[in-house]
């Protein structure tokens, strides 16, 4: 009896170690693939740019997006996926935009007192924000994907 308990214990420990290497299933039932890369403007890394992958064919997948860090690196998350889980397999149009504060607007009265608002301006070329006009395209395949994005100002 003692030997049976010991063997069962070892099988339980072995099973736990095997499962630790398993990927976490997506609770939303979609299969995504890891996507990372770097976004640059005229060869220079762009911080805080919003990168979006929009399915090339409407209805064939779903959007995925990420925000770039100081070195221009980004990681995608699908709208119904886990954070930084990537995008669904398929062909995409890529959009990129980055808003910056342009000017301090006149303070506005609110119920809580005064609020200072800022005028925001997209500093990227306008075509890159529009999926119908963006020249950027990519294909996400199974597994890990590294997709660098080069935005050109002219």
The pLDDT tens digits for 13-31 are 444 444 444 444 555 568 8
Tokens 């990420």 belong to which residue?
66
DSSP state of 84: T
13-27, 53-67, 106-120: segment of lowest average pLDDT:
13-27
Comparison of pLDDT for 72 and 7, the residue scoring more: 72
Question: Do 67 and 10 form a contact (C-beta atoms < 8 A)?
Answer: no
pLDDT at position 136 is 97
Angle at 128 between CA 85 and CA 48, to 5 degrees: 55
**Cα separation, 77 vs 52, whole angstroms:** 9
pLDDT at position 84 is 84
Q: Three-class SS of residue 78? A: strand
Nearest one of 130, 149, 23, 137 to 74, comparing CA atoms: 149
**Cα separation, 76 vs 96, whole angstroms:** 13
Nearest one of 99, 98, 25, 35 to 63, comparing CA atoms: 35
**pTM score, whole prediction:** 0.72
Tokens encoding 26: 């997506």
**Dihedral of CA 106/109/113/118: which sign?**
negative
Tokens 């397999």 belong to which residue?
89
């Amino acid at each position: 009896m003692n030997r049976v308990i010991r063997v069962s214990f070892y099988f339980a420990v072995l099973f736990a170690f095997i499962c630790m290497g398993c990927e976490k299933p997506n609770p939303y039932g979609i299969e995504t693939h890891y996507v990372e890369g770097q976004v640059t403007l005229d060869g220079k890394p762009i911080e805080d740019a919003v990168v979006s992958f929009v399915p090339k064919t409407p209805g064939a997948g779903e959007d995925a997006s990420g925000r770039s860090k100081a070195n221009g690196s980004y990681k995608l998350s699908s709208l119904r996926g886990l954070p930084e889980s990537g995008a669904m397999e398929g062909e995409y149009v890529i959009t990129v935009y980055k808003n910056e504060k342009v000017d301090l607007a006149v303070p506005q009265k609110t119920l809580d007192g005064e609020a200072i608002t800022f005028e925001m301006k997209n500093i990227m070329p306008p075509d890159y924000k529009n999926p119908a006009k963006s020249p950027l395209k990519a294909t996400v395949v199974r597994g890990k994907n590294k997709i660098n994005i080069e935005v050109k100002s002219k």
